[in-house]
A and B are shown apart, each in its own frame.
Chain A
């Protein structure tokens, strides 16, 4: 009986704690001041880049006491993210910010929210069609192209490259891939190995181990994100071959990619801004009735050993 009651009390306290404290920001301030509730639907918090996105949203939201943001993490499950969107619509939020896991499964739920009169800001990954208020993202194709050109230059026009791709059913993966191929077109840079590591470091490490086993000489590894590049570097290091090649990643988070460049693990990292701050600023414009463009393209920088301490270099078109 005692065990039973203890477990029950523990469960209820976790539940109570989770329900009242949990994933909301701005609760500390007066209830009366809250004019709008914004729902933030994140596809997963397993990627450090997405943890940074939520952190950027939170940092900007805290500067504006009139909004409250409710965060829901779909744990990389499309159906769960769909139900989160439905819950947000049911609870009558003022605006929805969503970074969908995949375009096709989330297009309909987002469209329904939009048609129900809730403004929708789509961050980073797109949905299909036009049923949303604003899309905010950096231009992955441009970043991919810049990476391709930088790599071609670094290799002196020819070399053997392994490409570790992000989730190829998501638009960033597709764009970073096609942009890269455009960037190396016309050069003698050859992609000898490519694999889909789905943005995840352990997967990238496994794929790199396969590549290392198959190829005697690899000149450069281009990974669609920094965790992927880091995983590849770990695999190369375990095989004693990290000095043979150069590693390039994308994201350049201050505590991750930029650090890797400083440590000499990555030769270059291309910044992919999370857009969290811009999402809140755009949300405020929408809620205040101001017009916003359908597409907001964020600018990005490249960090290399030469310029990492001076804040990187902005990419031109």
Chain B
């Protein structure tokens, strides 16, 4: 047997580096970025407007993914995020457009409603010991029905139906215009800033708060956590409730951007949120992960969608490609063990 050579040592260090999920996520982002450079649609990829718009488009998904990260770390799952987005989008539109409430009232009410729905899911999981998949599936179906109920099955928009069946247009509430706008010289959009704020709040919870550490403990080994004195039930309600809060914020952003509350909004968004978290590198098994991985995952998915969109790739190719990317991402994670 010969002594290890310099080459052997260097290879080990590379392997060590690649074992870090953050490094792997950054590597994936680099690959997608290079794809954008390669397929740059006659220079469109090199304009700042493309990147600013990519961030705006992915922000709603990103906000949902922040809540999803917290829940997945507890080794749970939340299938209701898309429906809660639809429900809160409708609620916010009804409060702001039809009831004419000030945003100082409409926004907290909507956030509270989303948090309440999330907390109910959490209670079903924690108190009644229903599996997260089932509990949040039920909430997903229920919330979609609730959205259609409070909206009367119609989109809640600035087109208000008068008694004779004709439509009249009312003013768009100023808060909608604000959320819809870009700041800092038109270089970054308000929804992007809201998304980054959600990332920051999630970081504080996960890295600095005791209850954030409890989330990891529950995901790692729930029984051990319980025996160590972690209030498992309350922490779970906290996680799902916070997820609901993020859903409500996403719903508000969705309503503002569409200038309407669509009860059908958010269908299948939960799948995108889960894909973002997984591609970022957080394990579905729970107990590990971080919000930075989710941030990276969001930007990866955002760039992927953007590159396909600026190249006018049709829906068929886009769907097949997204499926393959998800498999690739998981294989990439698995390789490192």
Contact = CB atoms under 8 A, between A and B. Distances in A.
B153 interface: yes
Given A18-B314, A18-B321, A87 B309 contact: yes
Interface string A273-306: 0000000000000000000000000000000000
Contacts, number: 115
B260 interface: yes
Contact of A168 (B154, B254, B314): B154
B8 interface: no
Given A4-B331, A104-B260, A22 B317 contact: yes
A90 B321 contact: no
A98 to B, nearest CB: 14
Interface in B161-188: 165-167, 169, 172, 180
Nearest to B311: A19
Contact of A84 (B44, B159, B309, B317): B309
A178 B260 contact: no
A91 B41 contact: yes
Given A7-B327, A18-B317, A91 B257 contact: no
B313 A18 contact: yes
Given A45-B315, A84-B309, A14 B324 contact: yes
Interface stretch (B11-19, B49-57, B101-109, B199-207): B49-57
A128 interface: yes
Interface string B25-62: 00000000001000101111001011001001100000
A105 interface: yes
B44 A87 contact: yes
B98 interface: no
A113 B191 CA distance: 21
Contacts of B172: 104
Contact of B317 (A14, A83, A87, A196): A14
Contact of A104 (B50, B159, B166, B318): B159
Nearest to A46: B315
Interface centre among A24, A102, A174, A178 (most CB of B within 10 A): A102
A83 B332 contact: no
Interface in A35-89: 45, 70-73, 75, 78-80, 82-84, 86-87
B311 A22 contact: yes
Given A22-B312, A90-B50, A7 B328 contact: yes
A11 interface: yes
B210 interface: no
A286 B312 CA distance: 24
Contacts of A188: none
A94 B254 CA distance: 31
B231 to A, nearest CB: 40
Contact of B165 (A15, A22, A178): A178
Interface residues of A, number: 42
B148 interface: no
B321 A15 contact: yes
B44 A90 contact: yes
Contact of B153 (A24, A75, A83, A196): A196
B12 to A, nearest CB: 18
B290 interface: no
B310 interface: yes
A79 B54 CA distance: 12
Interface in B219-239: none
B321 A14 contact: yes
B53 A105 contact: no
Interface in A85-143: 86-87, 90-91, 102, 104-105, 108, 128
Contacts of B308: 15, 18-19
Interface string B48-92: 011001001100000000000000000000000000000000000
Contact of B313 (A3, A23, A174): A23
Contacts of A75: 315
Contact of A87 (B50, B157, B180, B315): B50
B315 A73 contact: yes
A62 to B, nearest CB: 17
B320 A14 contact: yes
Contacts of A24: 312
A186 interface: no
B259 interface: yes
Contacts of A17: 317
27 contacts: A3-B331, A4-B335, A7-B331, A11-B321, A11-B324, A11-B325, A14-B321, A15-B308, A15-B313, A15-B321, A18-B314, A18-B321, A19-B41, A24-B312, A73-B315, A79-B254, A84-B309, A86-B53, A87-B44, A91-B43, A102-B157, A104-B169, A105-B260, A128-B169, A169-B157, A169-B260, A196-B154
Please list the 6 inter-chain residue pairs (A to B) with the smallest Cβ-Cβ separation, ordered nearest first: A18-B313, A18-B317, A19-B311, A11-B324, A23-B312, A19-B39
Given A17-B317, A104-B159, 20 more contacts: A10-B324, A11-B328, A14-B324, A18-B314, A22-B311, A70-B312, A71-B312, A73-B315, A80-B57, A82-B257, A83-B57, A83-B309, A86-B53, A87-B44, A87-B309, A90-B50, A104-B172, A105-B257, A105-B260, A168-B154
Interface of B: 35, 39, 41-44, 47, 49-50, 53, 56-57, 153-155, 157-159, 165-167, 169, 172, 180, 254, 257-260, 307-315, 317-318, 320-321, 324-325, 327-328, 331-332, 335
